[in-house]
């Protein structure tokens, strides 16, 4: 979910929704800070002309820190950030995080069995009792579904193994079996999901500008 949010196109700005969220945040902040602090909207505070640039800069720094925290939660550790920073600044390459996923579905076996009905019929003929039952032939199809995904930090457009400037941040493969009553496959035989890519080149370049000493700061 974190990565999907990062890579998604920005939603249209809704001023009323934004103001409601800020109001709720201000209530919480006042509870944390106590009576000594009175946080308010920037427009409601006396300020000089240059203060708006300072505010924009601080907000941008906060956004950068929040994005880095999201990347860290996904597994992009400090060493990988340093490598990505070098790709973006020294090598002049675009750096992205790409999520790739694929799946396969194949028929494993066909199973046929007989099932007795839950009720039985009893018929009396010349004093003899004859018990009858209904038997249903059931045919089932067992399918194996294999899925795999990987989250890759890479330079350039190619995220695959052919790219030497890449780190596999996360990867997993899993499989399960599904039973159906028809021979129609529950999923496509092979499916590759559309790539989800977030370009983080600008963010990486800001690490040096903000820290003054490179990606280690």
Query: Can you list the residues of the chain whose pLDDT is less than 70?
Result: 1-11, 118-127, 129-132, 208-217
CA separation, residue 69 to residues 64, 73, 76, 178 (Å)? 9, 6, 9, 38
Distance CA 54, CA 75 (A): 32
Q: Is residue 99 a contact partner of residue 74, using CB atoms and an 8 Å limit?
A: no
pLDDT of residue 43: 83
Beta-strand pair 190-192/95-125: antiparallel
Residues in the chain: 217
Report residue 54 as tokens: 């300072």
pLDDT in tens, 116-159: 776 666 566 666 766 667 778 889 999 999 999 999 999 999 88
Q: Is residue 71 a contact partner of residue 200, using CB atoms and an 8 Å limit?
A: yes
pLDDT of residue 209: 47
DSSP string, the chain: -HHHHHHSPPPPP-HHHHHHHHHHHHHHHHHHH-TT-----GGGS---TTHHHHHHHHHHHHHHHHHHHHHHHHT--HHHHHHHHHHHHTS---EEEEEEEEEEEEEEEEEEEEEEEEEEEEEEETTEEEEEEEEEEEEEEEEEEEEEEEEEEEESS--STT-SSEEEEEEEEEEEEEEESSSS-SS-SEEEPPPEEEE-HHHHHHHHHHHSS-TT-
Task: For residue 71, give the nearest of 215, 200, 157, 205 by alpha carbon.
Answer: 200
pLDDT of residue 93: 95
Q: Is residue 153 a contact partner of residue 80, using CB atoms and an 8 Å limit?
A: yes
Task: For residue 155, give the nearest of 199, 203, 216 by alpha carbon.
Answer: 199
pLDDT of residue 143: 97
């Amino acid at each position: 979910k974190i990565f999907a949010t990062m890579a998604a196109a920005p939603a249209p700005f809704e001023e009323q929704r934004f103001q409601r969220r800020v109001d709720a945040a201000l209530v919480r902040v006042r509870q944390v800070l106590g009576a000594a602090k009175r946080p308010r909207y920037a427009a409601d505070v006396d300020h000089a002309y240059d203060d708006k640039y300072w505010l924009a800069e601080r907000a941008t720094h906060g956004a950068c820190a929040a994005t880095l925290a999201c990347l860290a939660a996904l597994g992009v550790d400090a060493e990988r950030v340093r490598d990505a920073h070098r790709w973006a600044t020294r090598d002049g390459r675009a750096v992205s995080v790409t999520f790739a996923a694929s799946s396969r579905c194949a028929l494993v076996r066909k199973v046929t069995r007989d099932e007795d009905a839950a009720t039985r019929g009893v018929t009396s003929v010349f004093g003899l009792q004859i018990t009858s039952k209904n038997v249903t032939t059931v045919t089932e199809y067992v399918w194996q579904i294999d899925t795999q995904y990987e989250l890759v930090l890479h330079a350039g457009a190619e995220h695959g193994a052919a790219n030497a400037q890449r780190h596999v941040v996360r990867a997993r493969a899993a499989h399960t079996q599904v039973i159906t009553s028809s021979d129609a496959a529950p999923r496509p035989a092979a499916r590759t999901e559309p790539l989800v890519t977030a370009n983080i080149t600008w963010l990486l370049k800001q690490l040096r500008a903000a820290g003054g000493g490179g990606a280690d700061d």
